[in-house]
Amino acid sequence: MEKFFKLKEHGTNVRTEIIAGATTFFTMAYIIFVNPQILSLAGVPKNGVFIATILAAIIGTLIMGLVANVPYAQAPGMGLNAFFTFTVVFTLGFTWQQALAMVFICGLINILITVTQIRKSIIIAIPKSLQLAIGGGIGLFIAYIGIKEALFIKFTSDASNILLTDKVSGTVVTNGNIVPALVNFTDPKAQLALIGLLIIVVLMMLRVKGSILIGIIATTLIGIPMGVVDLGILSSPNPGSITDIQQTFWQFDFTGLFADPGRILLVITTVFAFSLSDTFDTIGTFIGTGRKSGIFDDKDQKALFESKGFKSKMDKALFADATATSIGAILGTSNTTTYIESAAGISAGGRTGLTSVVTAIFFGLCLFLAPIAGIVPAAATAPALIIVGVMMMGSIGKIEWDDFDIALPAFLTLVLMPFTYSISNGIAAGFIFFVITKLAKGKVKEVHPILYVVSALFVLSYIASALNKI
């Protein structure tokens, strides 16, 4: 194990990696229950999605750990599954089999741009100021997810601002005129989350190893007498059995997808939207968490910039992420991607692929013991995400805020990640306004050519998205 994962070289040990792997799992275990709920609305068999979600997480995370030797976990991505259901199926009118075919194609595109070094070239082209902003933006995003899941804030929109209520999904859309406010903490779930936050804060200040995982477990136990933890779920049967995978495995409808010549452009733009979001979510996660923690250290960055082929850990990690999307589509789920919640395990000390292997083992147990994972409430994991967000904010102090040309794109990158609930939207805003500021100053040569191309692609993506909704 030491020889394979090089634990001493990375300043870690088996115990730390196990704690980190468990921490990552518990902060993202919700996906095995949420993903089937979302995709089943699109008509995908719920039991099949349950098994597909777990298998995609196991396979994707093992590839990340064993091939790239980095502590990142993969699973079907939140946001991308909503795009699959509410946009691709509900709004654009594709069947779920056609949508899965598009996800599969998206995966092939991601593999292609990884093998041809395009993804690596994009990373190299990102200026240092935006890399720092991406790290801080992801910290804000993670903290916002934690605050929201902890039920610390509520959102109010008066009736005149409500534009649409989707009775199928229960989704309410407003015109953006919505006001957040702090709750009064009468809800036991919010109370438990606050207790959990205090526990983790104290443990962190006392420098207790495994603070985040201990906090999650302790909060879950405290939640039992508070009535927040439902122990009845332990007696529930698994939501699906391994044989249910046949309901979703290789259920592609390529013929129907390309049958109507009038919809070919729509298919292309939808696949492009899938791919662009998936690619930049991953790049943002790697830059935001890997650089600060030293997972992608100076030696690895040098190999990334100077070597050909897959010599660096970043190269291998990008390849692992690229293959996961197509594998997930084959199994029957929306885009499988690198999880931002991996930052929780990294904050707990995870530095090698052993962390990922441990996370994958926990997902494997859920094929038979999913109800056990289900008893850990969001109120127990949300405080961990808040703390991780705090720990990731250091990078913004290195941004030259006195220089408006740097401050503007960096600020937009920072705030639009949590405000739009999307890593790729924050990166897009940063890229576009970085290009605009340089063009306005006549500093055309200070922008890498790839940044011009990617910024233009983002703009075209937003235009295509707007046209699809007209």
Whole-angstrom Cα distance, residue 136 to residue 133?
5
Query: pTM for this one?
Result: 0.88
Residues of the chain with pLDDT under 70: 166-170, 292, 305, 307, 309, 468-470
Quick count: other Cβ atoms within 10 Å of Cβ 204? Answer: 16
Residue tagged 């997930």 (tokens) = 328
pLDDT, tens digit (0-9, with 9 covering 90-100), for 94-138: 999 999 999 999 999 999 998 888 888 888 899 999 999 999 999
Residue tagged 């098994």 (tokens) = 51
Report residue 301 as tokens: 């960055």
Whole-angstrom Cα distance, residue 384 to residue 464?
38
Domain around 447: 2-151+187-468
Asked if the structure places residue 168 within a domain, the reply is: no
What are the distances in angstroms from CA 300 to CA 73, 107, 271, 305, 399? 20, 25, 32, 9, 23
Quote the pLDDT of residue 151: 96
Quick count: other Cβ atoms within 10 Å of Cβ 372? Answer: 14
Whole-angstrom Cα distance, residue 270 to residue 468?
9
H helices present in 116-210, as ranges: 118-125, 128-149, 188-205
Asked if the structure places residue 319 within a domain, the reply is: yes
Among 114, 74, 142, 133, CA closest to 427: 133
Distance of CA 216 to the CA centre of its chain: 20
Give residues with Cβ within 8 angstroms of 443, minimum separation 6.
Answer: none
Asked if the structure places residue 352 within a domain, the reply is: yes
Asked if the structure places residue 224 within a domain, the reply is: yes
Quote the pLDDT of residue 172: 79
Quote the pLDDT of residue 162: 80
Q: How many domains does the chain have?
A: 1
Quick count: other Cβ atoms within 10 Å of Cβ 219? Answer: 29
What distance separates the 2 farthest-apart alpha carbons in the chain? 67
The amino acid present at 107, given as its one-letter code, is G
Report residue 138 as tokens: 């992801």
Asked if the structure places residue 159 within a domain, the reply is: no
- 123-160 exposure pattern, b = at least 16 Cβ within 10 A, e = fewer: bebbbebbbbbbbbbbbbbbbbbbbbbbbbeeeebeee
Asked if the structure places residue 156 within a domain, the reply is: no
Asked if the structure places residue 126 within a domain, the reply is: yes
Whole-angstrom Cα distance, residue 357 to residue 341?
15
Quote the pLDDT of residue 154: 93
- Cα torsion angle, 460, 336, 322, 12, sign: positive
Whole-angstrom Cα distance, residue 325 to residue 11?
31
Report residue 380 as tokens: 């127990």
Asked if the structure places residue 35 within a domain, the reply is: yes
Four-CA torsion 64, 68, 70, 73, nearest 10 degrees? -10
* DSSP strand pairing (171-174 vs 162-166): antiparallel
Contact 193, 384 (CB under 8 A): no
Q: How far apart are the first and last CA of the chain?
A: 56
DSSP letter assigned to residue 251: -
Angle at 43 (CA atoms; ends 41, 46), nearest 5 degrees: 80
Quick count: other Cβ atoms within 10 Å of Cβ 430? Answer: 29
- 38-62 exposure pattern, b = at least 16 Cβ within 10 A, e = fewer: bbbbbebbbbbbbbbbbbbbbbbbb
